[in-house]
Chain A
């Protein structure tokens, strides 16, 4: 992104990494984007009782240009999918996606032609949150797990190394068609 990508690996980079992670997780602004019933729980989470402002997240941005976190709250219909992707594309990086509720995560109980069977078909998801709808505490828990992930995001050469490692693992992984699971 900026100068932090050019830093040599070692003490300086790891310090900048943890600082950047701390700042990023402390000012994570979600996009105002509710699709269904999960959005009601998301609004409650922003309200006084659960108070997302405790984590620096009280401003739900109406413009995706000002948001870093997309909370996909609710079922994504086939018609909504391109809109959702556009909103994601309009968000400036670094950006994260939280798939809230079972419908967004996998289609949930709506296993039919109208609903996208998991929002990860459309955008990369960082954290999945089960529940129908998840209670506000569950959302806060997911957000805190995401914060932890953001805090430990590698930068610069470390990020390249992590990407390389991920690719090697993915190449060595058993293809889905060969997975047998527990079936005999």
Chain B
């Protein structure tokens, strides 16, 4: 090609780009789902009958490289039972202005109580609002679950819970969340 056509060839690239596929993601309107194992906001899970999985062992807090997690355990009693074992996490706080989403806490958790969701829209206006309490992190009660505190399923022990042999709440434990009143929207909790 003659040398004087070089600028035209340059514009040719620009022109051809107009016919190529647009890569722009229209983020707030069209949300692309994240990778399946994305490290998003934490969730404190529940057993199938609604009892909390967290046993207040503080292993997550010890594993945290940024000291973002604060846990305070307390003893379960027969009247006030929040988790199957001896203890439960009475205070559970994650400071999202320290958390680096490394998921070492998830690896440390012995009961799979702590997992991560794919939610990432966490920006807020003050430091205090970004310390998430237990009530913000707990998974919502699904239909059929009973809100703790309530006793174990009669005739079972904590081992049955840990081995997954308890799959639903029974009427002796209390009033279950009715079907259809599903509070699946975790954002609505805050």
Taken residue by residue from 1 to 41, chain B's Cβ proximity to chain A (1 for < 8 Å, 0 otherwise) reads as 00000000000000000000001111110010000000000
Chain B: how many interface residues by the 8 Å CB criterion? 32
Q: Which of B80-88, B119-127, B159-167, B180-188 contacts A (4 or more CB under 8 A)?
A: B119-127
Instruction: Judge whether A171 is part of the interface by a CB distance below 8 angstroms.
Output: no
Q: State the majority secondary structure of interface residues on B.
A: loop
- Is the Cβ of A105 less than 8 Å from the Cβ of B127? yes
Q: Smallest CB-CB separation from B92: which chain A residue?
A: A182
* CA A131 to CA B31, docked complex, whole Å: 18
CB distance from B101 to the nearest CB of A (A): 6
Say yes or no: is A142 at the interface (Cβ < 8 Å to chain B).
Answer: yes
Q: Total contacts A to B, CB within 8 angstroms?
A: 94
B130 part of interface (Cβ distance < 8 Å) = yes
A130 touches B67 (CB 8 A): no
Question: B115: which A residues are within 8 A, CB to CB?
Answer: none
Give the distance in Å from the alpha carbon of A176 to the alpha carbon of B97 in the complex.
18
* A interface residues, tally (CB under 8 Å): 34
Per the bound structure, the CA–CA distance linking A48 and B122 in Å amounts to 24
Can you add 17 more A-B contacts, CB < 8 Å, to A50-B27, A106-B127?
A49-B25, A102-B100, A105-B130, A106-B95, A108-B97, A128-B124, A128-B126, A136-B27, A137-B27, A137-B31, A138-B120, A138-B121, A141-B121, A144-B28, A182-B91, A182-B93, A182-B133
Interface residues of B (CB under 8 A from A): 23-28, 31, 65-67, 72, 90-91, 93, 95-102, 120-127, 130, 133
